[in-house]
Amino acid sequence: MLLEDSKRNSTWVDIYNKYTPHLVAVDSIIFGFADCELKLLIIKRDFEPGKGLWSLTGGFVGLNESMDEAANRILYDLTGLKDLYMTQLYTHGDVDRDPGARVISTSYYSLIKIQDIDTDHEMISNARWCPINELPELIFDHGKMVKMALENLRDEAHRKPIGFELLPPKFTLPQLQSLYEAIYQQTFDKRNFRKSILKMNLLDQLDEKDKENSKKGAFLYRFNEEKYKELLRQGFFFNIPV
Amino acid sequence: MLLEDSKRNSTWVDIYNKYTPHLVAVDSIIFGFADCELKLLIIKRDFEPGKGLWSLTGGFVGLNESMDEAANRILYDLTGLKDLYMTQLYTHGDVDRDPGARVISTSYYSLIKIQDIDTDHEMISNARWCPINELPELIFDHGKMVKMALENLRDEAHRKPIGFELLPPKFTLPQLQSLYEAIYQQTFDKRNFRKSILKMNLLDQLDEKDKENSKKGAFLYRFNEEKYKELLRQGFFFNIPV
């Protein structure tokens, strides 16, 4: 394969060619938020080893695509969504992690707005949004990958405004609170939560109310990205006490 | 290669074998602290492409070693040190990042006590500790790797006690302060720095003084790992205001 690459200098290729190449995969940890629960998108694996077991969605990195491109392709194939919040997390390289072959796998995690998924998109029928508290056993080291992603999400969500990636563009404060309660698996005091969110001055209150959950209704808010960037430049830190 | 692996089931191997394998490397960002400066261990590359240019130390992941084992091997070969503080940082997978071949590279960064390096160890003669402010241009995307490592170090060192990995086991408070000043490239007020360090109750003051830098001498301290673990369990957070 390397020898055929005409762009490369052949002497260099000889040096590199001494080494063993490895299959490299991307595994995608996809979080969504619905019914007041943090959920993970998992699929039933349809080939061996591990056929019929639950798994993250993944795929192999191709010859002419970057790691990030592979991760985006895999996410798009499953959800029809592009330009999502995605973070590379960790590369898992234990020799026997996949019983099928030596595969080095890089995990990425994404936060998606479940309601944005185009249900007409050919999302594979064996995918399922599973609440993180009810996860079945996952194949290989996928359980460990999810655990690391959750730790990372919890480490970040209180000091960076990434939680908004999981909400619709307009949301109520009770919705935002229930998101944070789902991420941190704890209840927050309503008044303190409102206070710490609003004092950061990052939410624009809209003239609309959501009346689905109460007669009186709850005001809708929108996260102001521009204001956040401006505050960041001034040395401000996002902070929700957890 | 995969077909020869007798431990694997041959039907599985057929599925995996459809995909293109890649060379996978580890590149090692090695930080040390000396002469009041944060330094990076770099080497002069002795093969093409990029022969004679400055580079991180690195190597390819072998067939029968995990990613972490490869990272440890590379670090040991250069410094003779084992069991160091090492963190996997990021996997760089752009198609053309290495002009010699398609190489996917995972960067690891380590914090080492420069004085622990056994100078009898066969450390390659073209390695050099370079102050981070005076770094030459590095090959490929190694400059970007160093930048990410520095950002990570700065993000972590004020909220986790990792700075001690760069100091000898016994150190003075002025030494500790100059380490933090080197990491954050800013000066700290001496009284405030002492106060914020000592109030965490993580340093044991020893009965010895360091008299090298002043007539009166400065007390030596030691970081108390046990106490830190105990405080962590109690919900304490390490914090040095930067």
Residue A17 CA to residue A214 CA, distance in Å, equals: 67
The three-state secondary structure class of A148 is: helix
Quickly state the pLDDT bin for A158 (edges 50, 70, 90): very high
Residue B80 CA to residue B31 CA, distance in Å, equals: 15
Q: Which of B5, B10, B16 to mutate to test the interface with A (most CBs of A within 10 A)?
A: B16
pLDDT for residue A7 is more than 60: no
Would you call A20 and B63 a contact, using CB atoms and an 8 Å cutoff?
yes
The residue with tokens 């609309």 is A208
Residues of B in Cβ contact (< 8 Å) with A13? 100-101
Nearest-by-Cβ selection for A22 from B17, B22, B95: B22
Quickly state the pLDDT bin for A234 (edges 50, 70, 90): confident
pLDDT in tens, B32-73: 999 999 999 999 998 888 899 999 999 999 999 999 999 999
Nearest-10 Cα torsion for B109, B112, B118, B122: 10
What is the average pLDDT across B84-110? 96
Provide the chain A residues 124-163 that lie in CB contact (below 8 A) with chain B. Answer: none
Would you call B8 and A100 a contact, using CB atoms and an 8 Å cutoff?
yes
pLDDT for residue B83 is more than 70: yes
What is the average pLDDT across B199-216? 90
Contacts with A160 (C-beta within 8 Å, 6 or more apart), sequence order = A238
Number of A to B CB contacts under 8 A, please give it.
130
Here the tokens at position A195 are 């206070």
Provide the chain A residues 92-131 that lie in CB contact (below 8 A) with chain B. Answer: 92-95, 99-104, 106
Strands B103-111 and B23-34: parallel
pLDDT at B1: 38
Percentage of residues of chain B with pLDDT beyond 90: 73
Residue B127 CA to residue B129 CA, distance in Å, equals: 7
Q: Are A149 and A107 in contact (CB under 8 A)?
A: yes
pLDDT at B67: 97
- Amino acid occupying residue B35: D
Query: Mean of the per-residue pLDDT values for chain A?
Result: 91
Query: Mean of the per-residue pLDDT values for chain B?
Result: 91
pLDDT for residue A3 is more than 60: no
pLDDT at A122: 62
The sign of the CA dihedral B9, A137, A59, A12 is negative
pTM for the full predicted model: 0.91
pLDDT in tens, A207-226: 999 988 788 889 999 999 99
pLDDT in tens, A106-157: 999 999 999 888 776 667 778 999 999 999 999 999 999 999 999 999 999 9
pLDDT at B7: 56
Residue A23 CA to residue A143 CA, distance in Å, equals: 21
pLDDT for residue B5 is more than 60: no
Would you call A49 and B24 a contact, using CB atoms and an 8 Å cutoff?
no
pLDDT for residue B2 is more than 60: no
- Amino acid occupying residue A133: N
pLDDT for residue B138 is more than 90: yes
Q: Are A123 and A42 in contact (CB under 8 A)?
A: no
Q: Are A103 and B63 in contact (CB under 8 A)?
A: no
Residue A68 CA to residue A71 CA, distance in Å, equals: 5
Q: Are B98 and A2 in contact (CB under 8 A)?
A: no
Report yes or no: B237 at the A interface, CB cutoff 8 Å. no
Q: Which of B22, B88, B92, B184 to mutate to test the interface with A (most CBs of A within 10 A)?
A: B22
pLDDT for residue A8 is more than 90: no
The residue with tokens 């003075």 is B172
Provide the chain B residues 30-69 that lie in CB contact (below 8 A) with chain A. Answer: 47-49, 60-68
What is the average pLDDT across A44-55? 91
Quickly state the pLDDT bin for A11 (edges 50, 70, 90): low
Report yes or no: B186 at the A interface, CB cutoff 8 Å. no
Here the tokens at position A56 are 């993250």
> Strand (E) positions, chain B?
23-34, 37-44, 54-55, 57-60, 85-92, 103-111, 127-131, 171-172, 203-210, 218-223
Higher pLDDT, B47 or A176: A176
Q: What is the ipTM of this complex?
A: 0.89
Q: Are B8 and A101 in contact (CB under 8 A)?
A: yes
Residue B226 CA to residue B232 CA, distance in Å, equals: 10
pLDDT for residue A83 is more than 50: yes
Would you call B100 and A13 a contact, using CB atoms and an 8 Å cutoff?
yes
